[in-house]
Amino acid sequence: MQNKLKRTIIGTLDDKYYLYEKLGFGASCIAYLATPIDDDTKQFAAKILFHKNDRHNTIFEQETKILSRLNVSNNEASKNIIYMENYKSNAILRLFTQSEDKPQDKFRDISEEELNDKPKEELETVDYICLALAGKGELFDYLKCYSKGFSEDIARFLFSQILNGVNYCHQMGFIHRDLKLENILFDNDWIIKISDFGLSSTKRRSKYDYDNCNIVGTDCYLAPELAIKKQRGSEIKQQYYGQPADVYSLGILLFTMVVAKYPFSIAIQTDEHSRFDYLVNKDHEQFWEEYEENKTALDLSNEFKSLIFLMLSVDPCERPSMAEILEHAWMKLPTPPKSEVDEELIEREIMIKRAKNIDNELIRRQKDREEQEMLKEKNNRDRESKILIQIHNNHFSDEVKRVSKKQAKKEMNKVRK
């Protein structure tokens, strides 16, 4: 089953959208490429909640609530926030399957041949968010596949967009709480879009942004005051300042964009000497010297190093505000034209596609090898079965001959008598 996009339709959502290939998945959600049934020129990412429990439902409700607020104004301030087109609870998801005796796993795409072979429907009640399609993927991939950081100029161009989005969130009274490369997306025009607001929360008007709040986020991006608490147990609750925690995550993100490596796995002091210890002791020179010894440091400017250490301050009260970051000397340095940045991103996109093609080829070859092994085992079993049958038949034939000879002798003896 196909439409004008010449893509295989694998199902429908809420009788409003066609679903196509899977874009990605997380612990509780799967994202599919989707188009309105009545207009396949518009493309969206349908984020579908499958595995429902109280925690996942809370995350889903929180994301829809916050995006509804953030998407109210369509202006320069909100342009770097992912746009939510629609959302609904208890919608009907129809996934096409081959047949009842061959159920299909909803985590994989279904081929056109399977759809044409006795198509049936698998109905399920789900919650979903329909988001603007960020067609160029995650910022994470543009570093992982290229194995090289961005120049400071290009990083500054991109980081200014990330700051614009986070600053808008803070002004609207929200803390993201899970800022990382994987949650920074590019749309088809190479504009940054901040996504995944499921762990976000509202800033409180009290001494602490969060009072007796669960620690959430990704380990290597967690501020030290949160990392130490999370290490003692995932259900640990802690008073903390939300905006400085976001600023720390942004510092890790900026560092990784330029150096193409995380500064450390988690911001916790250990018995073994770690790079984080240099931050605790404010030994900035030693921190960078270790990177130079490992030949991973670039020719980094003093302005860049200054901003990184301010944002990664162990004491949250020493971290700069969003306004102070925007006014920092590094942010005031020149940025390249958008065309130059786009050129760099396109080059990296080509590397990503090559890497994916290589991965797909390796997967295909591995699948072929496995199928060949299975076929070989089947042929061996068939051959063994044939040999056993032949042995049995030969044995049976010999037994028949022996019995026949014995019977013939008895008859001859009767005649002689």
The ranges assigned to domains in the chain are 11-132, 137-336
Return d(Cα 161, Cα 190) in angstroms, integer: 11
The verdict on whether 178 is a catalytic residue reads yes
Interior/surface letters 349-382, b for 16+ CB within 10 angstroms, e for the rest:
bebbeeeeeeeeeeeeeeeeeeeeeeeeeeeeee
Domains 11-132 and 137-336 share a fold: no
pLDDT tens readout for residues 353-363: 887 776 666 66
Strands 29-36 and 184-186: unpaired
Closest CA to 176 of 267, 326, 67: 67
Return d(Cα 364, Cα 360) in angstroms, integer: 6
Q: Do 8 and 2 form a contact (C-beta atoms < 8 A)? A: yes
- Give the DSSP letter of residue 42: S
Neighbour tally for 28: CB within 10 Å: 19
- CA contacts within 13 A on the Cβ side of 47: 27
Q: Which CATH number fits domain 137-336: 3.30.1330.10, 1.10.510.10, 3.40.50.150, 3.40.50.10330?
A: 1.10.510.10
Closest CA to 210 of 176, 184, 181: 176
Closest CA to 250 of 177, 143, 342: 177
Q: Do 110 and 93 form a contact (C-beta atoms < 8 A)? A: no
- Give the DSSP letter of residue 72: S
Closest CA to 232 of 217, 215, 211, 255: 215
Name the CATH superfamily for 11-132: Phosphorylase Kinase; domain 1 (3.30.200.20)
- Among residues 178, 196, 209, 246, the one annotated as catalytic is 178
So what's the pLDDT on residue 312? 94
So what's the pLDDT on residue 207? 47
Q: Do 50 and 133 form a contact (C-beta atoms < 8 A)? A: no
Ranges of residues in the chain with a pLDDT under 50 are 98-110, 114-115, 118, 207, 211-212
